[in-house]
Copies of this chain bind each other. A is one copy, B any other.
Amino acid sequence: MTKGNLLYAQSGGVTAVINATAGAVIEAARARGTRVGKVYAARDGIVGALREDLIDTGAESTEAIRALAHTPGGAFGSCRYKLKDIERDRASYERLIEVFRAHDIRWFLYNGGNDSADTALKLSSIGEALGYPIACIGVPKTVDNDLAETDCCPGFGSVAKYTAVSTLEAGFDVRAMRSTSTRVFVLETMGRHAGWIAASAGLAARAKDDPPHLILLPEVPFDEARFLAAVDRCVKRLGFCVVVVSEGVRDAAGRFLAEAGSVDAFGHKQLGGVGPLIADLVGAKLGYKHHAAVSDYLQRSARHIASKTDLAHARAVGKAAVAYALAGMNAVMPVIRRVSQRPYRWTIEPAPLERIANREKTLPPEFIRADGFGITPAARRYLAPLIEGEAYPPYRDDGLPDCVALKNRSVRRKLPPFQIPGL
């Protein structure tokens, strides 16, 4: 069997551990040097593949690849670019096959969410049609935890740990200040369509009345009157109230609260910022002193407080993706199966991309407390193992985490330029 080359690319919002997956892919591919020639990465995700902007990871030392396991961000660059349907933009899919052919790429590993799974699925079929069979493996990654088929998504456990730890800590802070200062603290989390991240804050409540007291989920339409009444009751009873709100929370009409009318100092509609919005609402309607935090990118890049479980998942899917590719599988994704709850045990299995592409897994009703403002014991059982264990990065003498910046040496182009639609 002649050697072929492998291409890896990162897609969508990066996570604290997507580089751990990248490192595992490269290490696994290097270990199979009799089959895999070059291990390439696309610069800036699929955009780099379309531009024939490839990186030769062979230029990186063993130590540099190992250090990916504790480096946040996306080492080769990621992108927010969704290919159109193959019927509407066949040229892009054909271009990708052309690039693969030019660089003898036999295996394409696309590390992303459900959009990326869709891209990988379509590529695998058109490759066959064009006489260049390419094994396309989706590799799961998303802080949103919204992929179908998998028990959880690499990247989520770490943002969940960050969110639960931050909520616990801020809860101690506000509790101490409640007598004369802040009464209501609001933490805004990511999660545009699914409330998994906001829900994970609920893990911080070890006992009754522990923060967070209220969680606002995208799955539950926001009812201002009910919410304000709940905040008021909480403050009257405990002296303070910690609220966690998902950026994706919507009103009864389905509009994102964050887009429902706020106009900023420059006269344009303010997107984002539902946390400050909710805090201001509390201040305006209830008169309580309030504060809001928006963790934004801090939450998904917080490698310093990554979950050990999540890191293990991230590495395992990378390793499995290479194994599946070399075993001749196609249009699959390594997914995580929960084998046992206590002790928590899990395994990796292949799942067909067609069952993952373009689907979205939101919080199931049985995970949402009856009043809509919290999580159930079932949700806790599901979430708890995902934040288990600490996976601290090494620190340098300067008091900051050690991170690697790769050389990212370009592969010489062989094809004419290509105009990416819309870019």
Per a CB cutoff under 8 Å, which of B47, B296, B395 touches A292?
A: B296
The stretch that binds B, out of A26-34, A73-81, A351-359, is A73-81
The distance in angstroms between the C-alpha atoms of A73 and B395, with both chains bound, is 26
> How many A residues are at the interface, by size bracket?
35 or more
List 19 A-B residue pairs with CB atoms under 8 Å apart, sorted by A's residue number.
A72-B169, A73-B174, A77-B175, A164-B399, A165-B304, A165-B400, A165-B401, A166-B302, A169-B301, A173-B300, A182-B297, A262-B265, A263-B265, A266-B280, A292-B294, A295-B298, A387-B398, A387-B400, A390-B392
**What is the oligomeric copy number?**
2
Point out the residue from B78, B81, B176, B398 that lies within 8 Å of A73, measured CB to CB: B176
How long is the Cα–Cα vector from A47 to B176 in the complex, in angstroms? Answer: 13
A280-B270, A392-B390 are contacts. A176–B75 as well, Cβ < 8 Å? yes
- A377: Cβ under 8 A from any B Cβ: no
Contact between chains at B400 and A204 (CB < 8 Å): yes
- Cβ contact of A296, chosen from B204, B293, B304, B305, cutoff 8 A: B293
> Which chain A residues in 43-70 approach chain B with CB under 8 Å?
44-45, 47
| B305 touching A297, Cβ below 8 Å | no
Residue from the set A74, A281, A398 with the largest chain B CB neighbour count within 10 Å: A398
Known: A168-B403, A273-B276, A293-B294; 6 extra A-B contacts, CB below 8 A, are A73-B172, A78-B176, A262-B265, A270-B276, A272-B292, A294-B294
CB distance from A183 to the nearest CB of B (A): 12
A169 neighbours in B (Cβ, 8 Å): 16, 72-73, 298, 301-304, 401
- Cα separation A264 to B399 with both chains bound (whole Å): 39
Q: Is A298 touching B399 in the complex (CB atoms < 8 A)?
A: no
